[in-house]
Amino acid sequence: MNFKKAAVIFSFAFPIISAILIINFLTGIISMPWQGMPVLFPLLLSPIGIMLALGSIKTNKRWAIWGIILNSILLLLPFFFFIGGTLLFGV
């Protein structure tokens, strides 16, 4: 497996892992010691996933575009979460 194929796989793995952590945080299925950290993980992982997808866009264009879309959505999710929490529940 070359670098570009591995980059596409990782660009998909980052948003999937982040989404699983956020869903677990919101539902509370498994207790985690980190209180709000799963919501902040996409801010760290999504830019890396976007760069990996951009680097591998020549190999698998369709999968790389989906990786960019998923990472972009998850990059904006923490901002919507914090703004929505402030609007609904106040400071």
Token pair, residue 50, equals 């976007």
Amino acid making up residue 24: N
Share above pLDDT 70 across residues of the chain, in percent, rounded to a whole number: 98
Contact of 78 with 47, CB cutoff 8 Å: no
Burial of 9-21, coded b for 16+ CB within 10 Å and e otherwise, reads ebbbebbebbbeb
Q: What is the pTM of this model?
A: 0.83
Name which of 23, 78, 83, 80 is nearest 46 in CA terms.
78
Amino acid making up residue 44: L
pLDDT at 91 > cutoff 80: no
